Structure 1
Amino acid sequence: MKRKIAALALCLATVCQAERLNENWDYLKGDIGGPWEALRENLERKGKPENIPVWDKVTLPHCFNAWDAVDPDVTYYQGPGWYRTFIDIKNPLKNGRTLLHFEGAGQKTEVYVGLTPVGKHVGGYDEWTVDITDAVSKHRKDKELIEKYKGKIPIIVRCDNTRDLEMMPSDLSDFNVYGGLYRYVNLNYVPALSLGLRKVDAKVDVAGAEGVVTVSADLYNPTGIQSAEAEIELRAPNGSMVVTKKVKVDASKTTVSLCEFKVQQPLLWSPEEPNLYTCVVRLKSEAGVSEEQDQIGFRHFEFLKNGPFMLNGKRLLLRGTHRHEDHAGVAAAMTEDMIRTEMEMMKEMGVNFIRLGHYQQSLIVLEECDRLGILVWEEIPWCRGGIGGEVYKEQGRRMLRNMIAQHYNHPSVIIWGLGNENDWPGDTPDFDEAAVRNYMIELNTLSHELDPDRKTAIRRCEFCKDVVDVYSPSIWAGWYRGKFTDYKASTKKAVDGVDHFFHAEWGASNHARRHSETPDQNLEAVGGGSTDERDGDASLYGGPPRVSKDGDWSETYACNLIDWHLKEQETMPYLTGSAYWPFKDFSTPIRPENPVPYVNQKGVVERDFRKKEAFYVFQSYWTVEPMVHIYGATWPTRWGKAGEAKLVKVYSNCDEVELFLNGKSLGKKKRDSQNFPAAGLRWRVKFKGGENNVEAVGFKNGKQIKDNVTWGYETREWGKPAILEVTTFRDSENQTWVEVLLNDKHGVPCLDATAFVRFSLVGDGRLVDNLGTSTGANKVQVCNGRARIKVDANGGSSVVAVSSEGLKTQFISIK
C-alpha cells in the first residue's frame, strides 16, 4: 500500500508534484565551518584528500546513532552532523513555489540552498517546511556554480543533537535524544496560492445518527493572490460520493473557514471497524489548482467519572502499549515499511490503544493507527528534568501547537499528552514545583483552546494530577515496587483519587531467551503494598528489595506478571484501560548495565521485531482469532531432578486445549481467565532425560490449532561456570552463528548462569553487533548459560574470540 506523502501542499494542477529525497545524500559526522566547506569539499576533494573531511554516502531516513546508541563501549554521539545532496529542481508551474518538507529531524536543524540559509527549526519531532524558491533562483544566477554542479541545486542541512538544558526533551529521559534526518524529506512543487494545513472536524451525536463536518484551511500565498474558489468533497469508506460543496475564498486571509455540512447515519470509526471517510479540498485560483485529501472518522468518546471509557456509547476496555521510534540497526530512522510492520504486529497482539512516548511521532504512525483502529495518546517531549526558561517553555508551546495542528484530523487521537514524569528533577540546581504546575496549567489551557473536544493527560506528576483531564499515576506492581498481586488494590485507590484515570506504564524487564524453572526465587524479601515507582528504583544496586534489582529478568517472570495484570483487568468494571510499557525494546543512555547494555528490555518484542513469550500472553487475552502457544519456544533445555514434575504453560484463547508429551495425551483443560497462571491451561509434566516433544491442540468454534516445542531435559547438577564451549553453525552462505555455552569443570551446562560474555573478531569478516538484541550484541549476559552472535564472513576468514570474566578465552575460526 502506497501512502500519500503529506506536506504543506502536495497536489497541484493535474499532477501531484511530490518526491521523497531518499537517495544520493552525503553525511559528515562532526562540524565544519559552514555550508561553503560542504561545497568546497565537493569541488576540491579530488587530489586533496588530506585537507578535506570524509563524507559517507547515506540514504534517508538516516540517524547519527544507528549503531552507537547500543555500543557497550562508547557514549552515544551528541553533536552536529552535516548532510548534502544535489538535486534537479524543475518546477513546472508558472510562478510556482518549491518547498522542502521535513517530517522530523533531530534536534536543531539549519537548511541551506548553496550558501543561502533558507530555514531553521528547533525540536526533533514535529513537521516543518521551508520555501526554497527564491534561494534556488539566486543560486541559478551564478553561472559558474551551475556549470560545476551540472545544473543541480545543492541542498545542505546541519542537524545537531547536542545536550541543551533549554531544549526538550531532557537528557535525563530514559531514551536517546537522537540526531539526524531520521524521517523523510520531501521536495514539493505548489502553485503560488496553495493549501496548507487543513482542519477537518468530524463530530457525531451520541446516537451516531447524524454527523457534522466543518472544514477550514491555512493558505500559503506569498505573492498576494486575492481570490480563489474551493471545492470540497466527502467520500464514504467505499469511495462513493457523500457531499460536494463549492465556496468562494478570500485568499488574502491566512486561515479560512470553508464549509459545514451534515452526514446522516455515518459509518462510525472504532477499533473493530475503523471506517474512514476521505475529505478532498481543491483550491482553484489564477495560479492553478492545489489539492489535498485527508482521511477522517466519525466517533464520540467519554471518560466516565471514576469509571470506564466509552466509545460510541459502549464501554471499551483500552488495551494498550507504548512506542518509541527506535529499531535495530537504524535507531530512529525507521522506514515506512518498518513502521507499518510494527503497527500491524501490535494489532496482531490485540492492541486497541497506544501511547506514543514521549514525543510527536511520524505521521505514518498516525495513519496506521487510523487504518488499523488503534486509539492514540500522543504527547509533547516535556519529559523529566524540571523546567527551563522562556526559550524552553516556548518550545513546548510551539510543539503542542504543531502536534495538534498536524495531527488534528486523525480520528485515532483521543488524548493530547502534556508531559511525562515532570516531578523528576535534575536539569537545574533547584526544582521549582510551583513553576512546573503553572506551566502545566498554561499548556492545558492552550490544548483546550486549540482542540476543545480531545482530552489532556500526563503521567506521574502527583502535584499536577488535578490540572489535566486524565491522570496516570505510577503503578509498577511487581517490578519497581511491591508485588504484582498488589496491582488491583493500587489501581482502585488511584481510580478513586482522580476524576478520570488511565494506567500508562507497567511491566517487567525480560532478557529475551532467558527462562526460569523458579522465577520467584530470591523475592521473599520484596514487600507488598506500595507500587509507586520512585527515583532510583531502576538501579541495579542499593535501595529496598525489589524485583527490578533482585529478580532474574526472565521471560518466565515477566509472563506471570503480565498474566496476573490481564486476568485482574477482566474483573475491574471501573477501569478505563492500561498501556504496557513498551511494545518493543529500545535504546536508552541510562541503562549501561542491563543484560543487553543500553537497552530498555521491557518490550514484548525485541528491537528487531522478534517476538518474546509475552507477546502470546497478550494475544491469549486480547484476540479473537484462535491461537495457541506453548510457553518456552526459545528455551532449548529444561532442568530438574529425574522424575520431577515440571510446569508446562499454554497461552491460548481457545475454549479447551489438549496437551501431548511425546505423542501421549496428558488430557484436556478448559480455559478460565481467572485460573492463574495461563488461564488454567497448565500441566505438571515429567520429562525423560534427553529430548522431549510437547504438542498443544486448541479447540475453538469447531477449529483446531496446534503448537509444538522440543525441549532437552538436564538432570545433572552443575557447579560454577569454568569452561567456555564455543560452536558454530551456518545461518546462510555468508553468515555463521557463533554460540557459547558456559559449562562447569565437568562439562555440565550451567543452565541458570547469567554472566556477561564478550565476542570480538579479527580478520575479513565482521560481527553483526550493536543491534541492541539478545543475539546482536558483542557484550551480553548469557541466557540460561548460553549466548550467540552472527558473523558475516565477507568472503574471507576470521577468528572470533569469546571471553567471560574469570574464564579462559576461547577462539574459533570462521571461513
Structure 2
Amino acid sequence: MTRGSGRFRLALILTNFCPSTMTCFKHLSLLLLLIFFADASFSQGIPVQSGRQYTGFNDKWTFSKYELTWETVTLPHTWNAKDVMDDEPGYYRGTGWYQRDLKTSPEMKGKLLFLCFDGVNQETEVYVNGQLAGKHAGGYTRFIIPVTKYLKFTGDFKNEIKVKVSNRYQEDIAPLTADFTFFGGIYRKVGLLATDPVHFYNGDYGADGIYISTPQVSAESAQVAVKSILENTDSQSRKVLLNTVVFNKEGKLVAKKTIVVNLKGGEKKTILMDLPRIIKPELWSPDSPVLYRAVSSILDARDSKILDEVTNPIGFRWFKFDAEKGFFLNGSAMKLMGASRHQDYEGLGNAVPDALQIRDIELLKEMGGNFLRVAHYPQDPVILEACDRLGILASVEIPIVNAITESPAFTENCRVMQQEMIRQNFNHPSVVMWAYMNEVLLRPKFGDDKSRQELYFKHVRELAENLEELTRHEDSSRYTMMAFHGDFDRYHKVGLTKIPMVIGWNLYQGWYGGSLDGFGQFLDKHHRELPDKPLLITEFGADADPRIRSFKPIRFDKSVEYAIKFSQVYLNEMLSRPFVNGGMVWNLADFNSETREETMPHINNKGLLTLGRQPKDTYYLYQAYLLNQPFLKIASKNWTERTGIADSSKASCTQVVQVATNLKSAELFLNGKSLGVKESVDRMCTWDVPFRAGKNQLRAFAAQHAELSDQADIDFRLLPYIFSDKHSFNALHILLGAERYFIEAEQSVLWTPDQPYRKGSWGYIGGSAFQSGNNRMSYGSDKNILGTPSDPIYQTQQVGLTAYKMDVPDGYYELNLYFSELVGGPQKEALAYNLDNSEVKENAGQRIFSVHVNGAEFLKDFNIAEEYGRTKAVQKMIRVQVTKGKGIVLDFIPIKGKPVLNALSLRKLY
C-alpha cells in the first residue's frame, strides 16, 4: 500500500537501505542529497506542500534503557541484537526509551501531523512535549499517532518526541510463548505523515482508509469496488470530489470514476464506489504478476486542487482451496509450495533494512516457490509489497502461539491485532488467507486438572470462533486458517478442526518424533477423517547445521545430509497427493530462538538458508523440485574444505557427492576425468568421488542441456590410513563418540569422526558413545556448551574408554584433549516441540579419573564438573616427544565413575 506521493515514498525507502546496498548506486551523493532534503522538510522547518506527504523519520534518535546514558541510533533498532546470542540465560525484556526532536514551522500550522510506526515490540507510549499522545499494544502491526495538538507552531518550534517501549512478558498480549525471540525496540521504520484537514481517514486500525476489492474477475472482464473513508477535521463543511483512476502496467488509464461528496465539519464518511468494468484484464499469477495501479484522490470541488492522494496495487485473480483437488488460481490447478519466514537476520536481530527483507522474497522466488507463509506475525510492509510484485501468494497471521490467556483483555487485543492485520494488508493481491492461531494446543495448561483443562479448551475454542467470525466479517473474499501441530485427535476433540476454512498442519514425523513413514500416513488420515476440509502443510523441516556433515545421517544429528533425506520424503508425499493444497517448509532461513541450545545455540537451524542467507544443500534440493526451467547444482558446493581417511593405502579418500537436478541424469567430472553419468533419484544424482590430497575440481554437466553446468573447488585434507604410508601428515582433529564431521570455520579446523584403534593408525580402545537418554538422539547431547562457539566439539564423547592410541611417526607434537561433563547441570524445561521428549533421569554422580600420556601422569584425579562446572568447554594441552617408534598412548584410569574424552587434536610441530 503506497502511503503518499512517489517523491516522498522514494525518500523513505532510500533512508532505510543498508550501507552495503547504497554502495551499489553510482550516484550515491545525489541520492543522499535527495534524502536529506526529504527529511529536512520537517526537521528544519521548511514549508510543506499541500496534500499528503510521508517522509522518513528514522535518523537523529537517541536511545536509553534507563534514561541515564543515551546513545545515538538510527531506526530500525533493537536492543536485543547481541544479548540473545550470549551464554547468559535470557535476554533483556524490559523498557527502553527513544528520543528525537521535531522542528516545526509556522507554515505547517493548519496541517495534520501523524507519527506512523511500522512496528514496535511490543507496548508503546508516545509522548510529545511531555504529553502522552497515544499508546499501542502489540509488536507486529502498524499504528499511527496523531500529534498535531501537542506541537508548537510558535517560539523556537522545537518539539521533543519521546517513545517508551517495552518487550516485557504481558499475559494479555500475544504471543505468550514461542520458539522465536521477542526482540524489543522500534525495530521497523517510522514515518512522519502530513495531511490536509480533508483527507483519507488513517485512524482505521493503522490503515490508509481505502479498501479495494475485485468481487468479479474472469479472463473476459473484471470488476473493481472501492471503499473509501473520508474525514473532514475542519469545523466548516467541505464539498469535494472523490476520484479513482486505474492504470494498467503500461500506465494507460483503463477505468475512472468521480463522485461529489459533501462533508460536514468534523465528519467521517464511508463511500462505496463501483468502477466501470475492465475488459480482458491481464491476470495476476506467480508466472505473470501483472499489477494495475489505483490512484484515489480527494479534490477541492471549487478549484480541483488535490487535498489527498493514495496509490494502491490491484492484481486481478480468483482462487479456490479444494479439499479433494487442491488449490486453483485463475481456474488452473496449482500446488502451493514455498516457505514460512521469520524476520530476523544475522547480527541485526529483527531490525532489518528493507533491501535485506526484499532479498528474502527474491530468494524464495529463485527457489521456485510460489507461496509465503508470513509466520508467526504480520511482518514489514515491504514483504507483501515484494510478494505482489514478484508473484508470491501469501498467508498472514497474528501471533497467538502455543497458548492463550483466558481474559477479556487478551481476547480484545487479539481482535484488534486481527483487524489491524486485515485492514492494513487488505489491498495486497498476494494475500489469499488470514490466519490467527498456531499450535495453540501444543502446551495445554492444567494438565493435572482435567476438568479445569476442559474449561481451558472451551475458552480456546470460543476465542477461535470469535476470531473466525470477525475475520469473515472483515473480509469475505479470502480464506481463513489455523495451523495445528501433529496431534490430530486433540484438535479434533476440542473442536478446532471445524472452525477455519482451511487447516494447516505443522508436521515433523521423523524429526521431533515418529518416523518418516508417518508423514504420508498422517496426510491420508486427514483426508479420510476430514474429507471436506482443505489441507495445507504449514510447517515441516529438519535442522541442518551447515557445519555438520555425515555419511551416516540419522535423526537429530543436525547434519545437512539428514535434512536432505527428510525433505525428499516430505516433498514426494505432498506432490503425489492432489488433495494436499500445498506445503511450506519451515523455514526459509535460520532464525533466532534464544532458549534453544543444540549444536548452534540460540538458532533454529531448519532454514534452507543460514541466518546470514547463505544457501544450504537443502535450498538447491528445493530448486530441483520446484523450478520449472532446467536446473543443475552441486548440492554440497559450499562444503569447499573436506577431510577424510584414505581408503586403505591408496592416495585418495572416497566420499559421496550429490548433484541436485530436475533433469533425468547428470555427469560429474573430477579434475577433468568423468566419473560417469548417473540417473536422478528424488532429484539427486549421487557419485562416490575419490578425493586426493589438495585441490580437487568438481564439474557437473547435463547431457540434455549443454549450457547447464556447475563447478566446485574442494580443498581436501587427506588423513593417512596408516601412518607408515608416505602421505603428508600434519594434524588430526577427532570427534569421539560421533558419526559426523564438523567444520570449525573460525579456526579453519576440520573435525572427523573417530574410529576404533587400528594398528598403525589411531583410535579409541574401549568404551561407547555417549547417549543422552532421550528417545530422539542416537548419540551425543544437544545441551549448550558454555564458553565456546564450537559446541559440536564437546557434544559427543566416548564414555568408559581405557586408552587412546596414535601410532604416529617420531617427532615433537602438541596434543589437545577436549572435555565437557555432559551429565547434570541446571534443570531446564524440555523443548515442547520434541514429541519424544521423555528424558531418562541423568545420573549426575561424581566422575573422577586420571590420564597418563606415554606412561607419564598428565591429569591427576581429574573431576571436570568440580573444577569447571557442567556443560563447560574444557581444553587441556601437552607437548609430547615421540621416539623409537612408540607413538602416543593415552591411558584413562577410572577412580569414580567412567572416564570420558570428547575430542582430540594432535598437531606435529617438528
1:329 positional shift:
1.6
Over 3 Å counting, the alpha-carbon distance change for 1:83 and 1:263 in structure 2 is: same
Give yes or no for contact 2:599–2:784 (8 Å, CA) kept in 1: no
User: What amino acid is aligned across from residue 104 of structure 1 in structure 2?
Assistant: G
CA distance in 2: counterparts of 1:639 and 1:131, whole angstroms: 65
Distance 2:794 2:234 in 1: 65
2:57 matched residue in structure 1: 21
Q: Distance in 2 between matches of 1:802 and 1:377?
A: 51
Partner in structure 2 of residue 533 of structure 1: none
C-alpha distance 569-421 of structure 1, shift in aligned 2 (>3 A) = closer
Which letter does structure 2 place at the counterpart of 1:102?
F
SS at structure 1 position matched to 2:276: strand
Residue pairs, 1:99-498, within 5 angstroms: 99-137=114-152, 143=155, 146=156, 151-170=157-176, 172-196=177-201, 197-203=208-214, 205=216, 207-227=218-238, 228-251=240-263, 252-285=267-300, 289-425=307-443, 430-431=452-453, 432-460=456-484, 461-462=491-492, 463=494, 464-498=496-530
Counterpart of 1:556 in structure 2 is 561
Alpha-carbon distance, 1:291 to partner: 0.5
1:621 has 2:625 as partner: yes
* Aligned mates of 1:82, 1:159 — CA distance in 2: 6
Matching residue of 2:642: 637
Distance 1:694 1:279 in 2: 52
Provide the C-alpha distance between the structure 2 equivalents of 1:209 and 1:810, rounded to a whole number of angstroms. 78
The AA in structure 2 aligned to 1:331 is: G
Q: Output the CA distance in 1 between the equivalents of 2:252 and 2:659.
A: 46
Letter in 2 for 1:372: L
Q: Which runs of 5+ in 1 are unaligned?
A: 33-52, 521-546, 723-735, 761-776, 786-800
Aligned length: 703
What residue in structure 2 maps to residue 513 of structure 1? 547
- Once the two structures are TM-superposed, the CA of residue 257 in structure 1 deviates from its matched residue by 1.9
Letter in 2 for 1:293: T
Q: CA RMSD in A?
A: 3.5
* C-alpha distance in structure 2 between counterparts of 1:604 and 1:699, whole Å: 28
CA–CA separation in structure 1 for the residues paired with 2:352 and 2:323: 39
Q: Aligned pair in 2 of structure 1 residues 216, 748: CA closer, same or farther (>3 Å)?
A: farther
Q: Report if the CA contact (8 A) 2:51-2:308 is conserved.
A: no
> Matches of 2:763 and 2:276 in 1, distance apart?
72
Match of 2:86 among 56, 67, 71: 71
Contact 2:121 / 2:167 at 8 angstroms: preserved in 1?
yes
- Post-superposition Cα deviations, 1:298-329, rounded to whole Å, max 9, x if no partner, equal 10001113331000000101011011111112
* 1:494 positional shift: 1.7
Cα distance in 1, alignment partners of residues 284 and 101 from structure 2:
44
TM-score normalised by L of structure 2: 0.72
Deviation by residue 1:585-627 (Cα, 9 ceiling, x = unmatched):
1111331x22111111111111111111111011111113443
Amino acid across the alignment from 1:269: W
The code of the aligned residue for 2:251 comes to: G
Rate the CA distance shift 1:489–1:89 in 2: closer, same or farther, 3 A. Answer: same
CA contact (8 A) 1:111 1:117 kept: yes
Letter in 1 for 2:699: E
Q: Which has the larger radius of gyration?
A: 2
Instruction: Specify the code of the residue in structure 2 equivalent to 1:614.
Output: T
Q: Deviations over 1:510-565 (max 9, x none)?
A: 11221111113xxxxxxxxxxxxxxxxxxxxxxxxxx3xxx311011101111222
- 1:273/1:720 Cα in 2 relative to 1: closer, same or farther (>3 Å)? closer
Q: Which structure has the higher relative contact order (CA within 8 Å, separation 6+)?
A: 1
| 1:445-468 deviation digits (Å, cap 9, x = unpaired) | 110111011000001144301100
SS of the residue 1:261 aligns to: coil
CA distance in 2, matches of 1:414, 1:275: 16
Match of 2:21 in 1: none
Kindly provide the CA deviation profile for residues 469-507 of structure 1, in whole angstroms up to 9, marking residues without a partner as x: 000234212211222233223212223333211111001
Q: 1:703 to 1:288 in 2, by over 3 A?
A: closer
The answer to whether residue 518 in structure 2 is matched with residue 500 in structure 1 is no
Q: Which amino acid aligns with 1:394?
A: E
Q: Separation in 2 of the partners of 1:224 and 1:322?
A: 49
The DSSP-based 3-state class of the residue aligned with 1:214 is strand
Note if contact 1:514-1:555 (Cα within 8 Å) is conserved in structure 2.
yes
Partner of 2:591: 586
Q: Secondary structure at the match of 2:356?
A: helix
Matches of 1:503 and 1:757, distance apart in 2: 31
Instruction: Decide whether the 8 Å contact of 1:473 with 1:494 is kept in 2.
Output: no
**Superposed displacement of residue 362, structure 1:** 1.2
Q: In structure 2, what is the equivalent of residue 536 of structure 1?
A: none
Compared CA separation, residues 215 and 93, structure 1 to 2 (3 A)? farther
Note if contact 1:689-1:715 (Cα within 8 Å) is conserved in structure 2.
no
Residues 660-690 of structure 1: CA deviation (Å, up to 9, x unaligned): 122111222344xxx34x44x1223344455
Q: Which amino acid aligns with 1:359?
A: Y
Match 1:703 to one of 697, 700, 707? 707
Give the whole-Å Cα distance in 2 for the aligned partners of 1:254 and 1:738.
Answer: 66
Q: Whole-Å Cα distance in 1 between the matches of residues 185 and 96 of structure 2?
A: 7
Residue aligned with 1:66, SS: coil
- Secondary structure of the corresponding residue to residue 557 of structure 2: coil
Cα deviation code 1:260-295 (max 9, x no counterpart): 331111111101111111000011238951010001
Structure-1 separation of matches of 2:817 and 2:108: 63
Gaps of 5+ in 2: 1-5, 14-41, 43-47, 202-207, 485-490, 723-731, 737-744, 765-778, 797-815, 821-863, 865-873, 879-910
Classify the secondary structure of the residue corresponding to 1:120. Answer: strand
- Tell me by how many angstroms 1:711 deviates: 4.9
CA distance in 2 between partners of 1:168 and 1:720 (Å) = 46
Contact 1:191 1:288 (8 Å CA) reproduced: no
- C-alpha change, 1:253 and 1:756, in structure 2 (3 Å) is closer
Deviation at 1:229, TM superposition (A): 1.1
Task: Give yes or no for contact 2:59–2:74 (8 Å, CA) kept in 1.
Answer: yes
CA deviation vs aligned residue, 1:386-441 (integer Å, no higher than 9, x gap): 33301100001011111111100100000100211111346779541011111111
Residue type of the alignment partner of 2:122? Q
8 A Cα contact 1:204 1:300, kept in partner = no
The amino acid across from 1:169 in the alignment is P
Q: Secondary structure at the match of 1:158?
A: strand
State the alpha-carbon separation in 1 of the partners of residues 268 and 538 from structure 2. Answer: 42
SS of residue paired to 1:72: coil
Letter in 2 for 1:153: N
Cα 1:15/1:425, change in 2 over 3 Å? same
Structure-2 residue corresponding to 1:726: none
Counterparts of 1:500 and 1:758, CA distance in 2 = 44
Residue 666 of structure 2: aligned partner:
657
Q: Take 2:546 and 2:690, find their aligned partners in 1: how far apart are those partners? A: 26
* Alpha carbons 2:733, 2:751 under 8 Å: kept: no
Is 1:808 the counterpart of 2:875? The answer is yes
The structural deviation recorded for 1:696 is 0.9
Instruction: Give the AA of the match of 2:270.
Output: T
Instruction: Name the SS for the 2:580 alignment partner.
Output: coil
Supply the AA of the counterpart residue of 1:327: Y
**C-alpha distance in 2, partners of 1:756/1:809?**
21
* Matched letter for residue 315 of structure 1: A
Change (3 A) 1:55 1:748: farther
CA separation in 2, counterparts of 1:339 and 1:91? 39
